[in-house]
Amino acid sequence: MKERLTMELPLGSEIMTTVRLATGSMASLMRLDLDRSEDCKVCVTESLLLITHAGFSRARVTYYEDGGLFVRIEGEGERGAACAVPEDEISAALLGALAENVEIIREGMFSVSFAFKA
Amino acid sequence: MDDKELFAAYRATGDIALRNEIAEKYLYIAAVIAKKFTGRGVEYDDLYQVASLALLKGIDRFDPEKGILFSTFITPTIAGEIKNYFRDRSRLVHLPRKVAELRAELKKASEAIAAETGRKPTAAEIAERLGVPEEDVVRAAEAGSVVSLDRPVREDGLSYHDVLPAAEDPFEEVDNRDAVLSALKTLSQEERALVGFRYGQALSQVETAKRMGVSQMYVSRLERKILEKLKEQFKRGLV
Protein backbone atom coordinates (compact mmCIF):
# COMPACT_ATOMS: atom_id res chain seq x y z
CA MET A 1 0.00 0.00 0.00
CA LYS A 2 1.66 3.21 -1.16
CA GLU A 3 0.85 6.52 0.51
CA ARG A 4 0.06 9.14 -2.11
CA LEU A 5 -1.28 12.16 -0.23
CA THR A 6 -1.93 13.21 3.36
CA MET A 7 -3.87 16.27 4.41
CA GLU A 8 -4.43 17.65 7.90
CA LEU A 9 -7.32 20.01 8.06
CA PRO A 10 -9.66 21.91 10.35
CA LEU A 11 -13.20 20.53 10.18
CA GLY A 12 -15.55 23.11 8.79
CA SER A 13 -17.97 23.30 5.90
CA GLU A 14 -15.72 25.82 4.12
CA ILE A 15 -12.96 23.23 3.67
CA MET A 16 -15.24 20.54 2.19
CA THR A 17 -14.89 21.77 -1.40
CA THR A 18 -11.10 21.52 -1.12
CA VAL A 19 -11.29 18.00 0.26
CA ARG A 20 -13.79 16.88 -2.37
CA LEU A 21 -11.65 18.30 -5.18
CA ALA A 22 -8.53 16.59 -3.80
CA THR A 23 -10.48 13.33 -3.50
CA GLY A 24 -11.66 13.64 -7.10
CA SER A 25 -8.07 14.19 -8.23
CA MET A 26 -6.82 11.14 -6.33
CA ALA A 27 -9.67 9.01 -7.69
CA SER A 28 -8.79 10.12 -11.20
CA LEU A 29 -5.11 9.32 -10.58
CA MET A 30 -6.12 5.81 -9.46
CA ARG A 31 -8.22 5.37 -12.61
CA LEU A 32 -11.61 5.19 -10.90
CA ASP A 33 -14.48 5.99 -13.25
CA LEU A 34 -16.50 9.18 -12.77
CA ASP A 35 -19.33 7.50 -10.86
CA ARG A 36 -16.99 5.83 -8.38
CA SER A 37 -15.02 9.04 -8.05
CA GLU A 38 -18.25 10.81 -7.03
CA ASP A 39 -19.09 7.92 -4.66
CA CYS A 40 -15.65 8.29 -3.10
CA LYS A 41 -16.26 12.00 -2.52
CA VAL A 42 -19.55 11.16 -0.79
CA CYS A 43 -17.72 8.66 1.46
CA VAL A 44 -15.02 11.18 2.42
CA THR A 45 -17.65 13.81 3.21
CA GLU A 46 -19.69 11.36 5.31
CA SER A 47 -16.56 10.24 7.19
CA LEU A 48 -15.67 13.83 8.02
CA LEU A 49 -19.22 14.42 9.26
CA LEU A 50 -18.96 11.36 11.53
CA ILE A 51 -15.63 12.59 12.89
CA THR A 52 -17.05 16.06 13.52
CA HIS A 53 -20.02 14.60 15.39
CA ALA A 54 -17.62 12.44 17.42
CA GLY A 55 -16.19 15.65 18.91
CA PHE A 56 -13.11 16.38 16.77
CA SER A 57 -12.32 19.75 15.24
CA ARG A 58 -9.41 18.52 13.07
CA ALA A 59 -8.88 15.49 10.86
CA ARG A 60 -6.13 13.79 8.91
CA VAL A 61 -7.07 12.36 5.52
CA THR A 62 -4.63 9.93 3.89
CA TYR A 63 -4.99 8.50 0.40
CA TYR A 64 -3.19 5.27 -0.46
CA GLU A 65 -2.72 3.44 -3.72
CA ASP A 66 -3.72 -0.18 -3.22
CA GLY A 67 -5.09 -1.72 -6.40
CA GLY A 68 -7.37 1.29 -6.45
CA LEU A 69 -7.86 3.98 -3.85
CA PHE A 70 -7.75 3.32 -0.11
CA VAL A 71 -8.68 6.21 2.17
CA ARG A 72 -8.16 6.55 5.91
CA ILE A 73 -9.63 9.48 7.82
CA GLU A 74 -8.82 10.02 11.49
CA GLY A 75 -9.88 12.54 14.09
CA GLU A 76 -6.91 14.68 15.15
CA GLY A 77 -6.10 16.53 18.37
CA GLU A 78 -8.24 16.70 21.47
CA ARG A 79 -11.60 15.06 21.39
CA GLY A 80 -14.43 17.29 22.62
CA ALA A 81 -17.98 16.38 23.51
CA ALA A 82 -19.66 14.16 20.97
CA CYS A 83 -22.90 15.34 19.41
CA ALA A 84 -24.17 12.32 17.51
CA VAL A 85 -27.22 12.92 15.32
CA PRO A 86 -29.66 10.37 13.83
CA GLU A 87 -28.16 11.04 10.38
CA ASP A 88 -24.91 9.38 11.57
CA GLU A 89 -26.66 6.05 11.11
CA ILE A 90 -27.39 7.01 7.51
CA SER A 91 -23.77 8.13 6.98
CA ALA A 92 -22.42 4.79 8.23
CA ALA A 93 -24.89 2.80 6.14
CA LEU A 94 -24.10 4.90 3.07
CA LEU A 95 -20.38 4.22 3.49
CA GLY A 96 -21.15 0.49 3.61
CA ALA A 97 -23.30 0.77 0.49
CA LEU A 98 -20.83 2.71 -1.63
CA ALA A 99 -17.34 1.58 -0.61
CA GLU A 100 -15.54 -1.69 0.07
CA ASN A 101 -13.70 -2.83 3.22
CA VAL A 102 -15.33 -0.13 5.33
CA GLU A 103 -14.03 0.03 8.88
CA ILE A 104 -15.18 2.52 11.49
CA ILE A 105 -13.23 2.55 14.75
CA ARG A 106 -14.94 4.48 17.52
CA GLU A 107 -12.99 3.39 20.59
CA GLY A 108 -10.35 5.86 21.84
CA MET A 109 -9.33 7.27 18.50
CA PHE A 110 -11.93 7.72 15.81
CA SER A 111 -11.13 6.61 12.30
CA VAL A 112 -12.92 5.61 9.16
CA SER A 113 -11.27 3.71 6.33
CA PHE A 114 -12.58 2.35 3.07
CA ALA A 115 -11.46 1.26 -0.38
CA PHE A 116 -12.48 1.69 -3.98
CA LYS A 117 -10.98 -0.96 -6.20
CA ALA A 118 -9.88 0.21 -9.65
CA MET B 1 -47.82 2.73 17.65
CA ASP B 2 -44.02 2.53 17.74
CA ASP B 3 -41.99 1.55 14.69
CA LYS B 4 -41.95 -2.15 15.43
CA GLU B 5 -45.71 -2.25 15.91
CA LEU B 6 -46.27 -0.18 12.77
CA PHE B 7 -44.17 -2.49 10.60
CA ALA B 8 -45.74 -5.57 12.19
CA ALA B 9 -49.25 -4.22 11.61
CA TYR B 10 -48.41 -3.36 7.98
CA ARG B 11 -46.91 -6.80 7.35
CA ALA B 12 -49.96 -8.45 8.86
CA THR B 13 -52.62 -6.36 7.10
CA GLY B 14 -50.97 -4.84 4.01
CA ASP B 15 -52.97 -1.71 4.84
CA ILE B 16 -51.75 1.08 2.51
CA ALA B 17 -52.61 3.73 5.11
CA LEU B 18 -50.09 2.13 7.47
CA ARG B 19 -47.46 1.98 4.71
CA ASN B 20 -48.04 5.67 4.02
CA GLU B 21 -47.67 6.48 7.70
CA ILE B 22 -44.28 4.69 7.74
CA ALA B 23 -43.28 6.38 4.48
CA GLU B 24 -44.07 9.85 5.82
CA LYS B 25 -42.03 9.15 8.91
CA TYR B 26 -38.96 8.11 6.89
CA LEU B 27 -39.28 10.35 3.85
CA TYR B 28 -36.53 12.52 5.32
CA ILE B 29 -34.06 9.68 4.65
CA ALA B 30 -34.97 9.79 0.96
CA ALA B 31 -34.39 13.55 0.99
CA VAL B 32 -31.05 13.30 2.85
CA ILE B 33 -29.68 10.60 0.54
CA ALA B 34 -30.95 12.25 -2.67
CA LYS B 35 -29.12 15.42 -1.65
CA LYS B 36 -25.87 13.51 -1.28
CA PHE B 37 -26.05 12.40 -4.92
CA THR B 38 -26.67 15.82 -6.47
CA GLY B 39 -24.08 17.41 -8.75
CA ARG B 40 -23.86 14.41 -11.09
CA GLY B 41 -25.96 15.79 -13.91
CA VAL B 42 -29.37 14.75 -12.52
CA GLU B 43 -31.64 17.22 -10.75
CA TYR B 44 -32.47 16.85 -7.07
CA ASP B 45 -36.21 16.54 -7.79
CA ASP B 46 -35.60 13.48 -9.94
CA LEU B 47 -33.27 11.91 -7.39
CA TYR B 48 -35.79 12.55 -4.63
CA GLN B 49 -38.45 10.84 -6.71
CA VAL B 50 -36.25 7.77 -7.25
CA ALA B 51 -35.31 7.71 -3.56
CA SER B 52 -38.96 7.97 -2.49
CA LEU B 53 -39.98 5.04 -4.70
CA ALA B 54 -37.08 3.01 -3.28
CA LEU B 55 -38.32 3.87 0.21
CA LEU B 56 -41.76 2.47 -0.61
CA LYS B 57 -40.23 -0.73 -2.01
CA GLY B 58 -38.01 -1.02 1.05
CA ILE B 59 -40.94 -0.72 3.45
CA ASP B 60 -42.49 -3.77 1.79
CA ARG B 61 -39.29 -5.77 2.18
CA PHE B 62 -38.25 -4.73 5.70
CA ASP B 63 -38.52 -7.35 8.41
CA PRO B 64 -38.30 -5.76 11.90
CA GLU B 65 -37.74 -9.19 13.41
CA LYS B 66 -34.20 -9.24 11.96
CA GLY B 67 -33.15 -6.71 14.55
CA ILE B 68 -31.67 -3.93 12.42
CA LEU B 69 -32.80 -0.33 12.33
CA PHE B 70 -34.97 0.62 9.38
CA SER B 71 -32.60 3.52 8.55
CA THR B 72 -29.67 1.07 8.35
CA PHE B 73 -31.69 -1.24 6.13
CA ILE B 74 -33.14 1.38 3.81
CA THR B 75 -29.99 3.47 3.15
CA PRO B 76 -28.23 0.92 0.89
CA THR B 77 -31.55 0.17 -0.83
CA ILE B 78 -32.07 3.84 -1.71
CA ALA B 79 -28.41 4.36 -2.67
CA GLY B 80 -28.59 1.28 -4.89
CA GLU B 81 -31.73 2.51 -6.68
CA ILE B 82 -30.16 5.92 -7.25
CA LYS B 83 -27.02 4.31 -8.67
CA ASN B 84 -29.17 2.13 -10.97
CA TYR B 85 -30.93 5.28 -12.10
CA PHE B 86 -27.57 6.89 -12.93
CA ARG B 87 -26.57 3.78 -14.85
CA ASP B 88 -29.82 3.76 -16.84
CA ARG B 89 -29.45 7.42 -17.66
CA SER B 90 -25.73 7.35 -18.34
CA ARG B 91 -26.25 7.54 -22.10
CA LEU B 92 -28.46 10.57 -21.71
CA VAL B 93 -26.30 12.55 -19.30
CA HIS B 94 -23.59 14.43 -21.15
CA LEU B 95 -21.15 15.60 -18.52
CA PRO B 96 -18.75 17.29 -20.96
CA ARG B 97 -21.59 19.32 -22.41
CA LYS B 98 -22.67 20.29 -18.89
CA VAL B 99 -19.16 21.46 -18.08
CA ALA B 100 -18.93 23.32 -21.39
CA GLU B 101 -22.23 25.08 -20.70
CA LEU B 102 -21.16 25.99 -17.20
CA ARG B 103 -17.87 27.37 -18.55
CA ALA B 104 -19.79 29.67 -20.88
CA GLU B 105 -22.04 30.86 -18.03
CA LEU B 106 -19.02 31.20 -15.77
CA LYS B 107 -17.35 33.56 -18.22
CA LYS B 108 -20.46 35.74 -18.51
CA ALA B 109 -21.01 35.84 -14.74
CA SER B 110 -17.35 36.59 -14.14
CA GLU B 111 -17.44 39.56 -16.53
CA ALA B 112 -20.70 40.84 -15.06
CA ILE B 113 -19.40 40.72 -11.47
CA ALA B 114 -16.10 42.29 -12.52
CA ALA B 115 -18.02 45.14 -14.19
CA GLU B 116 -20.09 45.67 -11.04
CA THR B 117 -17.29 45.49 -8.49
CA GLY B 118 -14.22 46.56 -10.47
CA ARG B 119 -12.29 43.43 -9.51
CA LYS B 120 -12.06 39.78 -10.50
CA PRO B 121 -14.72 37.69 -8.72
CA THR B 122 -14.01 34.69 -6.50
CA ALA B 123 -15.32 31.19 -7.27
CA ALA B 124 -17.76 31.56 -4.36
CA GLU B 125 -19.20 34.79 -5.82
CA ILE B 126 -19.65 33.18 -9.24
CA ALA B 127 -21.23 30.10 -7.67
CA GLU B 128 -23.70 32.27 -5.78
CA ARG B 129 -24.55 34.26 -8.90
CA LEU B 130 -25.15 31.10 -10.98
CA GLY B 131 -26.84 29.15 -8.18
CA VAL B 132 -24.46 26.19 -8.53
CA PRO B 133 -22.07 24.59 -6.00
CA GLU B 134 -18.69 26.28 -5.65
CA GLU B 135 -17.07 22.94 -6.46
CA ASP B 136 -18.69 22.90 -9.92
CA VAL B 137 -17.30 26.36 -10.64
CA VAL B 138 -13.77 25.28 -9.67
CA ARG B 139 -14.08 22.09 -11.74
CA ALA B 140 -15.43 23.93 -14.77
CA ALA B 141 -12.60 26.45 -14.55
CA GLU B 142 -10.08 23.61 -14.25
CA ALA B 143 -11.59 21.90 -17.31
CA GLY B 144 -10.59 24.90 -19.38
CA SER B 145 -6.89 24.12 -19.60
CA VAL B 146 -6.03 24.41 -23.30
CA VAL B 147 -3.79 21.89 -25.04
CA SER B 148 -2.76 22.31 -28.66
CA LEU B 149 -4.12 19.61 -30.95
CA ASP B 150 -0.84 19.77 -32.87
CA ARG B 151 1.25 18.91 -29.83
CA PRO B 152 3.06 15.58 -30.40
CA VAL B 153 1.80 12.91 -28.00
CA ARG B 154 3.61 9.84 -29.27
CA GLU B 155 7.20 8.96 -30.00
CA ASP B 156 6.38 8.58 -33.69
CA GLY B 157 5.38 12.24 -33.78
CA LEU B 158 1.60 11.76 -34.00
CA SER B 159 -0.36 14.64 -32.46
CA TYR B 160 -3.65 14.76 -30.53
CA HIS B 161 -5.19 15.77 -33.84
CA ASP B 162 -4.03 12.46 -35.36
CA VAL B 163 -4.97 10.14 -32.53
CA LEU B 164 -8.21 11.58 -31.14
CA PRO B 165 -11.37 10.10 -32.64
CA ALA B 166 -13.70 12.51 -34.45
CA ALA B 167 -16.25 13.92 -32.01
CA GLU B 168 -19.14 12.83 -34.22
CA ASP B 169 -19.42 10.40 -37.07
CA PRO B 170 -21.77 12.16 -39.54
CA PHE B 171 -23.06 8.86 -40.98
CA GLU B 172 -23.78 7.45 -37.55
CA GLU B 173 -25.49 10.70 -36.62
CA VAL B 174 -27.87 10.45 -39.61
CA ASP B 175 -28.51 6.81 -38.75
CA ASN B 176 -29.27 7.66 -35.11
CA ARG B 177 -31.52 10.54 -36.06
CA ASP B 178 -33.55 8.32 -38.41
CA ALA B 179 -33.89 5.64 -35.73
CA VAL B 180 -35.04 8.17 -33.13
CA LEU B 181 -37.55 9.80 -35.49
CA SER B 182 -39.00 6.39 -36.42
CA ALA B 183 -39.21 5.40 -32.77
CA LEU B 184 -40.97 8.63 -31.81
CA LYS B 185 -43.65 7.96 -34.43
CA THR B 186 -44.68 4.84 -32.52
CA LEU B 187 -45.44 6.88 -29.37
CA SER B 188 -48.78 8.48 -28.49
CA GLN B 189 -49.16 12.26 -28.51
CA GLU B 190 -48.87 12.40 -24.73
CA GLU B 191 -45.75 10.23 -24.76
CA ARG B 192 -44.16 12.39 -27.46
CA ALA B 193 -44.93 15.50 -25.41
CA LEU B 194 -43.17 13.97 -22.41
CA VAL B 195 -40.10 13.07 -24.49
CA GLY B 196 -40.06 16.63 -25.82
CA PHE B 197 -40.13 18.18 -22.35
CA ARG B 198 -37.73 15.75 -20.70
CA TYR B 199 -35.15 15.18 -23.44
CA GLY B 200 -35.75 18.05 -25.87
CA GLN B 201 -35.96 20.83 -23.31
CA ALA B 202 -34.15 18.88 -20.54
CA LEU B 203 -36.84 19.78 -17.97
CA SER B 204 -37.02 18.00 -14.61
CA GLN B 205 -39.85 15.60 -13.88
CA VAL B 206 -41.45 18.23 -11.65
CA GLU B 207 -41.36 20.88 -14.41
CA THR B 208 -42.61 18.37 -16.99
CA ALA B 209 -45.51 17.42 -14.70
CA LYS B 210 -46.45 21.10 -14.35
CA ARG B 211 -46.42 21.64 -18.12
CA MET B 212 -48.50 18.52 -18.74
CA GLY B 213 -50.89 19.18 -15.87
CA VAL B 214 -50.26 15.79 -14.25
CA SER B 215 -48.47 14.55 -11.13
CA GLN B 216 -44.72 13.96 -10.93
CA MET B 217 -45.45 10.33 -10.09
CA TYR B 218 -47.41 10.00 -13.36
CA VAL B 219 -44.51 11.50 -15.34
CA SER B 220 -42.09 9.11 -13.68
CA ARG B 221 -44.23 6.06 -14.52
CA LEU B 222 -44.93 7.20 -18.08
CA GLU B 223 -41.24 7.94 -18.69
CA ARG B 224 -40.24 4.50 -17.48
CA LYS B 225 -42.92 2.95 -19.71
CA ILE B 226 -41.70 4.92 -22.75
CA LEU B 227 -38.07 3.96 -22.17
CA GLU B 228 -39.03 0.29 -21.81
CA LYS B 229 -41.12 0.49 -24.98
CA LEU B 230 -38.31 2.12 -26.98
CA LYS B 231 -35.72 -0.28 -25.57
CA GLU B 232 -37.89 -3.22 -26.62
CA GLN B 233 -38.39 -1.79 -30.09
CA PHE B 234 -34.66 -1.21 -30.62
CA LYS B 235 -33.93 -4.71 -29.30
CA ARG B 236 -36.40 -6.27 -31.74
CA GLY B 237 -35.06 -4.11 -34.56
CA LEU B 238 -38.45 -2.56 -35.23
CA VAL B 239 -37.04 0.91 -35.79
User: What does the pLDDT look like over A50-90, one tens digit per residue?
Assistant: 999 999 999 999 999 988 999 999 999 988 888 888 889 99
Dist CA B155 CA B150 (whole Å):
14
Judged by CB atoms closer than 8 Å, whether chains meet at B75 and A45 is answered as no
Percentage of the residues of chain B whose pLDDT score is greater than 90: 24
Judged by CB atoms closer than 8 Å, whether chains meet at A94 and B75 is answered as yes
pLDDT-derived band of residue B239, with 50, 70 and 90 as boundaries?
very low
- Identify the weakest region by mean pLDDT among A30-34, B6-10, B152-156: B152-156
Q: Which residues of B touch A24 (CB under 8 A)?
A: 139
What is the model's pLDDT at position B126?
A: 85
Tell me the CATH number at A9.
3.30.565.10
Q: Is the ipTM of this complex over 0.90?
A: no
B13 pLDDT higher than 80: yes
A91 pLDDT higher than 90: yes
In this complex, which of A34, A35, A94 lies closest to B36 when CB atoms are compared?
A94
Does B160 reach chain A within 8 Å, measured CB to CB? no
**pLDDT one-digit tens code per residue, B74-86:** 999 999 999 988 8
* Closest CA in chain A for residue B28: A87
What is the model's pLDDT at position B216?
A: 86
What is the model's pLDDT at position B39?
A: 79
What is the model's pLDDT at position B103?
A: 77
Judged by CB atoms closer than 8 Å, whether chains meet at B133 and A17 is answered as yes
Answer whether A59's CB lies under 8 Å from A3's CB: no
* Fold observed for domain B97-163: Arc Repressor Mutant, subunit A (1.10.10)
What is the model's pLDDT at position A61?
A: 97
Judged by CB atoms closer than 8 Å, whether chains meet at B95 and A35 is answered as no
- Number of domains present in the structure of chain A: 1
Does B75 reach chain A within 8 Å, measured CB to CB? yes
**pLDDT one-digit tens code per residue, A92-114:** 999 999 999 999 999 878 999 99
B164 pLDDT higher than 70: no
What is the model's pLDDT at position B65?
A: 85
**pLDDT one-digit tens code per residue, B62-109:** 988 888 889 999 999 999 999 988 877 754 544 555 666 777 788 888
CATH class of the domain comprising B3-90: mainly alpha
Chain A residue set in contact with B, beta carbons under 8 Å: 17, 20-21, 24, 34-35, 38-39, 42, 45-46, 86-87, 89-90, 92-94, 96-98
The domain locations on chain B are: 3-90, 97-163, 177-236
* Fold match, B3-90 / B177-236: no
Helices (H), chain B: 3-13, 16-36, 44-61, 70-89, 95-117, 123-130, 134-142, 160-163, 170-185, 189-195, 205-212, 216-235
What is the model's pLDDT at position A34?
A: 79
Does B76 reach chain A within 8 Å, measured CB to CB? yes
Answer whether B35's CB lies under 8 Å from B202's CB: no
Q: Which residues of A touch B75 (CB under 8 A)?
A: 89-90, 93-94, 97
Does B122 reach chain A within 8 Å, measured CB to CB? no
pLDDT-derived band of residue B169, with 50, 70 and 90 as boundaries?
low
Does B15 reach chain A within 8 Å, measured CB to CB? no
CATH of B177-236, one of 1.10.10.10, 3.90.79.10, 3.50.50.60, 1.10.287.610: 1.10.10.10
pLDDT-derived band of residue B146, with 50, 70 and 90 as boundaries?
very low
Does B33 reach chain A within 8 Å, measured CB to CB? yes
Sign of the torsion angle spanned by Cα atoms B22, B23, B25, B30: positive
Mutate to test the interface with B, among A25, A90, A94 (most CBs of B within 10 A): A90
Q: Is B218 exposed, middle or buried (0-12, 13-18, 19+ CB in 10 A)?
A: middle
Q: Which residues of A touch B71 (CB under 8 A)?
A: 86, 89-90, 93
B172 pLDDT higher than 70: no
What is the model's pLDDT at position B148?
A: 53
**Once rounded to an integer, what is the mean pLDDT over residues B99-122?**
82
What is the model's pLDDT at position B166?
A: 55
B228 pLDDT higher than 90: no
Judged by CB atoms closer than 8 Å, whether chains meet at B76 and A90 is answered as no
B165 pLDDT higher than 60: no
pLDDT-derived band of residue B59, with 50, 70 and 90 as boundaries?
very high
Range of the domain at A11: 2-117
Q: For residues A106-118, b (16+ Cβ closer than 10 Å) or e, as one string? A: eeeebbbbbbbee
**Top-confidence residue, B36 or B162:** B36
Q: How many Cβ atoms from other residues are within 10 Å of residue B41's Cβ?
A: 17
In this complex, which of B72, B86, B138 lies closest to A17 when CB atoms are compared?
B138
